[in-house]
Amino acid sequence: MTSPSPAPVRLDRAVPFVAELVLDRPKAFNALNIAVTDLMTAHLAACAADDDIRVVILRAEGAHFAAGADVREMAAMSGAEARERDFAGCCTALGGFPKPVVAAVQGLALGGGCELIEMCDIVIAAEDAAFGHPEILLGTMPGAGGTQRLPRLVGMAAALDMLLTGRRIDAATALHLGLVSRVVPAAELLAEARKAAAAVAALPPRVTVLMKATARAAAEVPLSEGLALERAGFHRTLDLPERTEGMAAFLEKRPADFSRSPA
């Protein structure tokens, strides 16, 4: 009797307040087919609704993070079919996920894989990581934000150099351009991602959500509107019990305790 194939995406819970969304198609370089992106979307919805999850780590099994959309699946897809299902070749739900996301990236993060990390908040890359948008080499283009988020992250000149040529950049270059947050030895990647996630999860969760939303707005609204959003968020935090605890702890010279889930 043949055992069922493991799910290509799983959700792990190892430490308090942190969930790990794990891509698990290593033999296919974690290519993003429809089954993968649908599962990612469902897991992200569950994480958003769960108050015991404050931070998500996005990581992948195997040598590579994600080599992009599954070309075998896309090869026979027509434009009409793609429009009918609003196909993007990636998990677009990640872009609207409200809670902080830490990505742990090893090996290749190409096409849709690069779009995934462009949606994350803290991106920790192994020294062997490589990033790129090779869609043009396949006669197509990004469909989940690559032409929009990449220029906002690395600037138009660097983005168009990657998008129009399909060339890859290494982890050191990605760090220099602002595509990733940190670069670490491959052996330390997961530990560093978990350390970063735990640090964020120990902070007041409603404030981290407000902070993420406000900072993300900086790429989309005029400065005056962004400043108004920031001021409104700041004023909102003053009514939170987490602010009371944080300032009391500072004045009393003790560590703040944000371990209780907000009511």
Q: Which residues are catalytic?
A: 69, 112, 115, 135
Q: Collapsing DSSP states into helix, strand and coil, what is residue 182?
A: strand
Closest CA to 12 of 54, 45, 56, 64: 56
Q: Do residues 65 and 109 touch, judged by C-beta distance below 8 A?
A: yes
**Can you tell me the distance from the alpha carbon of 77 to that of 20, in angstroms, rounded to the nearest whole number?**
31
* 10 DSSP β-pair partners: 22
* 123 DSSP β-pair partners: 103
Query: What are the backbone dihedrals phi and psi of residue 202, each rounded to the nearest 5 degrees, phi first?
Result: -80, -5
**Can you tell me the distance from the alpha carbon of 59 to that of 69, in angstroms, rounded to the nearest whole number?**
16
* 250 DSSP β-pair partners: none
Please identify which residue in the block is written with the tokens 């043949």: 2
Q: Do residues 29 and 67 touch, judged by C-beta distance below 8 A?
A: yes
**Can you tell me the distance from the alpha carbon of 140 to that of 207, in angstroms, rounded to the nearest whole number?**
40
- What residues contact 31, with CB distance under 8 A and at least 6 apart? 25, 66, 67, 68, 69, 70, 71
